């Protein structure tokens, strides 16, 4: 790719008029440069000018300026957080054949479509498909007396799983999450218990021409729904319990003070103890994790680090960089080393992998 071709692609990227093929060409070339940690093939003044024309303020934001030692790396990293989404997808679809002989231990990837069903009798069943109807899958393994008891679906770190509940409702569980539900729902009400993060699409169920309500109990709150799509983030190591409504309506009850709040589509409720904050959001961004997309919305590094730890089953070791926030998008279905390389360019922090520990060098 010569300079004029790159200039044309950057201009059309800014105007959002790139074809899919040209977009892949641009991001593939961009990724090649990042992977080599070299910008020698680019005219710096041209690149810097073009990147500035893309609204970098929407991609990254620093509350306290932490600039890398070379401005050109800062410029690349600013766009890198956004471009890495597409680069990651391309890398997964078109692996380099020269690297096909690498040992699998050299790569740390997320392994979706993986969970365990813990049955009332103590048995554990590996679930490794997607979109399974758990009533059909598990009923043969349960005795009749057990079918009124709770089944627990648990995803490990670095695993996600989506499935269908006995009533037809669809559930997606994020990494390190679990859902408890009865194998047979009561016709007067449907109740499940969530720890971690889950996205729900609730099936409409009626009895005597009345809708049978559905409720999700989680830390400090209960969400009551009829027919709707929503996301709950309820990890024990996160400060907030967050409910985001995509479609329909839900009523959230804060167990601390029994206060009830009705959510409308594209609204998000954050509960911290008895305090609650209702805000307007892009609800679609809250479920990007289903496709391995991490949306950074004024997110600090420690919070992002916890997400990376859950997604890749790793641990950060050392002092986490802090004092600034990140905006943009990161693809979390790529090799961990590629993700860390992008973060290094932005944060001016070096990361070294030691097994499943990420060593931090500020």
Instruction: For residues 107 and 109, give the distance between their C-alpha atoms in angstroms, rounded to a whole number.
Output: 6
Q: Alpha-carbon dihedral of residues 219, 222, 225, 231, nearest 10 degrees?
A: -20
On average, the pLDDT of the chain sits at 75
Residue with tokens 């041209």: 46
Question: How high is the pLDDT of residue 344?
Answer: 83
Residues of the chain with pLDDT under 50: 31, 34-41, 44, 46-48, 50-105
Q: Return the residue matching tokens 């790529």.
A: 334
Burial of 57 (0-12, 13-18, 19+ CB in 10 A): exposed
Helices (H), the chain: 3-14, 20-35, 44-53, 71-93, 134-138, 283-286, 301-312, 336-347
The secondary element (H helix, E strand) that includes residue 143 is none
Position of tokens 């401005």?
Answer: 71
274: three-class secondary structure by DSSP:
coil
What are 2-46's pLDDT values in tens digits? 555 666 666 666 666 666 556 555 655 554 554 444 444 455 454
Q: How far is 290 from 172, CA to CA, in rounded Å?
A: 7
CA distance 262 to 251: 4
Q: Which residue is associated with the tokens 């699998």?
A: 104
Which residues are CB-neighbours of 18 under 8 A, at least 6 positions away?
9, 12, 26
Q: What pLDDT score was predicted for residue 300?
A: 87
42 DSSP assignment: S
Q: How far apart are CA 10 and CA 241, in angstroms?
A: 40
34 near 73, Cβ under 8 Å?
no
The pLDDT of residue 9:
67
Instruction: List the structure tokens of 293.
Output: 């997309």
Helical axes 71-93 vs 336-347, angle rounded to 10°: 160
CA distance 312 to 110: 5
Number of alpha helices (DSSP H) and beta strands (DSSP E) in the chain = 8, 23
With CA atoms as reference, report the closest residue to 220 among 198, 201, 236, 231. 236
The per-residue pLDDT for range 156-179, each reduced to its tens digit, is: 998 899 999 988 999 999 999 999
Please, what are the domains in the chain? Answer: 3-96+299-361 (3.55.50.30), 115-286 (2.60.120.1440)
Quick one: how far is CA 209 from the chain centroid?
A: 38
Q: Is residue 164 a contact partner of residue 132, using CB atoms and an 8 Å limit?
A: yes
Roughly what angle, to the nearest 10 degrees, separates helices 44-53 and 71-93? 80
Q: What pLDDT score does 298 carry?
A: 81
CA nearest to 297, candidates 244, 248, 350: 244
Q: Are 231 and 241 in contact (CB under 8 A)?
A: no
């Amino acid at each position: 790719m010569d300079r004029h071709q790159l200039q044309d692609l950057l201009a059309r990227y800014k105007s959002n008029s790139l074809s899919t093929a040209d977009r892949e060409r641009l991001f593939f070339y961009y990724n090649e440069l990042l992977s080599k940690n070299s910008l020698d093939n680019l005219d710096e003044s041209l690149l810097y000018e073009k990147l500035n024309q893309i609204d970098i303020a929407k991609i990254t934001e620093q509350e306290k300026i932490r600039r890398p030692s070379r401005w050109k790396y800062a410029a690349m990293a600013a766009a890198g957080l956004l471009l890495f989404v597409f680069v990651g997808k391309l890398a997964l679809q078109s692996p380099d054949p020269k690297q096909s002989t690498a040992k699998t231990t050299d790569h740390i990837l997320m392994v979706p479509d993986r969970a365990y069903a813990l049955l009332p009798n103590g048995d554990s069943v590996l679930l490794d498909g997607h979109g399974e109807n758990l009533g059909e899958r598990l009923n043969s393994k349960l005795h009749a007396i057990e079918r009124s008891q709770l089944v627990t679906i648990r995803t490990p770190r670095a695993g996600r799983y989506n499935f269908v509940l006995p009533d037809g409702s669809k559930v997606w569980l994020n990494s390190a999450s679990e859902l408890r539900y009865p194998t047979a729902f009561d016709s007067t009400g449907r109740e499940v218990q969530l720890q971690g993060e889950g996205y729900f699409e609730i099936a409409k169920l009626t009895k005597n021409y009345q809708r049978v309500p559905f409720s999700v109990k989680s830390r400090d709150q209960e969400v009551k729904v009829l027919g709707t799509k929503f996301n709950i983030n309820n990890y024990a190591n996160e400060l907030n319990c967050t409910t985001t409504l995509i479609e329909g309506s839900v009523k959230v009850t804060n167990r601390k003070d029994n206060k009830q709040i009705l959510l409308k589509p594209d609204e998000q409720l954050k509960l911290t103890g008895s305090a609650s904050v209702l805000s307007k959001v892009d609800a679609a961004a809250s479920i990007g994790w289903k496709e391995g997309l991490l949306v950074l919305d004024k997110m600090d590094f420690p919070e992002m680090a916890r997400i990376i730890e859950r997604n890749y089953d790793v641990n950060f070791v050392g002092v986490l960089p802090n004092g600034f926030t990140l905006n943009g998008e990161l693809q979390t279905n790529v090799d961990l080393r590629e993700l860390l390389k992008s973060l290094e360019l932005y944060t001016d922090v070096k990361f070294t992998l030691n097994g499943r520990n990420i060593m931090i060098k500020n």
